[in-house]
Structure 1
Amino acid sequence: MGRKKVDASAVSLTSLRAARLYRLLTLLRNGPQTRAALLRRLKLDVRGFYRDLESLRALGIEVNVGDDTKYTLVGEVDDALAKLPFPDPGLNVRDALQLSIGNSSAHRKLKQRVNSFLNGPRGGPNKPR
């Protein structure tokens, strides 16, 4: 039975789920883990665990299960963390503008998002209707 492909932008994460996925990735960084150990450490039931695995797959993060029924992260944890969206931090526009000042790739990415938001879809300032 084939898996259906899900668009990563369609994955919506609550702050609790994003934090749990982060913990799952950091646990897998330490090497292969059994499902029972992961369930215990994440305080999850089996259904929630498989939903989280599906969310990771939808984000392009691969987790394999081996012959010994241990789960393993495919690739580096840093690459996986780069694909894991950060939930809305609840910033106001002034905070976002202040955080976008800098020369790192993270600063530039935030600045681009802030400018896109502030300038609207037509390149001009957003005006209330």
Structure 2
Amino acid sequence: MGRKKVDAAAVSLTSLRAARLYRLLTLLGPGPQTRGFLLRRLKLDVRGFYRDLEALRTLDIKVTTTSDEARYALAGELDDALAKLPFPDPGLNVRDALELAKGSTAAHRKLKQRVNSFLNGPRGGPNKPR
């Protein structure tokens, strides 16, 4: 049975966990690292480490191990992995989001689409309280 692909935007991470996953990815970006090194740098126990690896798998970010499982490595490019890691809710208000969506880059367009979807509701009209 294949793994179900998950939209990164649909995965909710706390700010602390998202920051830790980011640090894990940046530690793995340059090349393979031992589990002990990663545990020390991330200040994690083994159980937390494996939970974070599972969270990355859920986001379709692959981390591989060497044949003797002594080292962990990021499969693919760091930039590709970071593109799949969701950013936690920054606590913006609607006015802030509208201001940030004014640019013309792909990121601006993505934000503008999400803001418009939020403001227009599921049926295309203004979102009104029920």
For Structure 1 versus Structure 2, the TM-score category normalised by the shorter chain is: over 0.9
SS in 2 for 1:72: strand
- Structural RMSD (CA): 1.5
**Distance in 2 (alpha carbons) for counterparts of 1:30 and 1:111:** 34
CA contact (8 A) 1:11 1:55 kept: no
Q: Which residue of 2 aligns with 1:18?
A: 18
> Which residue number corresponds to residue 44 of structure 1?
44
In the alignment, structure 2 segments of 5+ residues that lack a partner are none
Aligned residue for 2:119, secondary structure, equals helix
Partner of 1:85: 86
Q: State the partner residue of 2:117.
A: 116
Query: Given the two structures, how large is their TM-score scaled by the length of structure 1?
Result: 0.93
List aligned pairs for 1:91-110, cutoff 5 A: 91-110=92-111
CA distance in 1, matches of 2:124, 2:116: 9
TM-score between the two structures when normalised by the length of structure 2: 0.92
Give distance in 2, aligned partners of 1:32 and 1:11. Answer: 26
Structure 2 residue 3 is the aligned partner of structure 1 residue 5? yes
Distance 1:111 1:94 in 2: 12
Give the Cα separation in 2 of the matches to 1:27 and 1:90: 28
Q: Percent identity?
A: 76
Q: Which runs of 4+ in 1 moved over 6 A?
A: none
Matches within 5 A, 1:51-62: 51-62=51-62
The aligned residue for residue 30 of structure 1 is 30
